[in-house]
Amino acid sequence: MKTLTLLRHAKSSWDDPVARDFDRPLNAKGRRAAAMIGRHLKAEGFAFDHVLASPAVRVIETLDEVWSGYGQKLEPVWNKAMYLASAPSLLDLVQAMPDAADHVLMVGHNPGLEDLVLDLTLDGELRERVEDKYPTATVAQMTLPVDRWAEVRAHSATLVAFIRPRDLDPTLGPDTP
């Protein structure tokens, strides 16, 4: 059994004048949300033995804040192929994970992460919440009935958690400063 946790980067700042989208930083709300998600992951006993992340600035800053809340910094494998990757590209990365890793955290971008969850999981209430919206700084955790990552296939995972920042603190939801 393998566990795959996906984290969408936290809310970024559109006010920051950067030349490339890749360099866009987090805004204050995004920093708060990422730190809160980190605290929640720690409190709920989430543990990871492999982290794969996009090297975009907003993902790097999201992980810095998550680790601050989590109380432990885990070193990710930075992979530029994750930057704005499609679900099929992300699935290729999942299938190439080291088999020694049982619980992987992938940190990246939408719509790829949302589409990957929808492609991998079976129908259910949590999946319907993902279909509705996969907000920034949201965590989706799936269990996969496989021994090797290369065996991961569509519609085989069970979505066991879908945690949005606003579920933990309503001020981190939409329509609030």
Q: Is residue 39 part of a domain?
A: yes
Determine which helix (DSSP H) or strand (DSSP E) holds 125, and give its type and residue range.
Answer: helix 125-132
Cβ–Cβ under 8 Å, residues 76 and 63: yes
Segment 135-164 shows an average pLDDT of: 97
Rounded Cα distance between 9 and 153, Å, is 25
CB count within 10 Å of CB 39 equals 15
Residue span of the structural domain in which 130 resides: 2-155
Residue 67 CB neighbours (<10 A)? 20
168 domain residue, yes or no:
no
Lowest mean pLDDT among 11-20, 46-55, 79-88: 11-20
- CATH code of the domain in which 138 resides: 3.40.50.1240
**What is the value of pTM for the model shown?**
0.95
Asked if residue 36 belongs to a domain, the reply is yes
Angstrom distances, CA of residue 111 to CA of 22, 64, 116, 121, 135: 15, 22, 9, 16, 10
Q: Is residue 46 in some structural domain?
A: yes
Q: Is 166 annotated as a binding residue?
A: no
Residue 166 inside a domain? The answer is no
Give, for 87, the enclosing helix (H) or strand (E).
Answer: helix 87-95
Distance CA 151, CA 74 (A): 26
Total domains in the chain come to: 1
Task: Write out pLDDT tens, residues 67-102.
Answer: 999 999 999 999 999 999 999 999 999 999 999 999
- pLDDT at residue 175, rounded to an integer: 61
- pLDDT mean across residues, the chain: 95
Q: Is residue 66 in a domain?
A: yes
Q: What is the percent of the chain with per-residue pLDDT over 70, rounded to a whole number?
A: 98
Closest CA to 138 of 152, 156, 126, 150: 126
Residue 161 included in any domain:
no
Residue 102 lies in a domain: yes
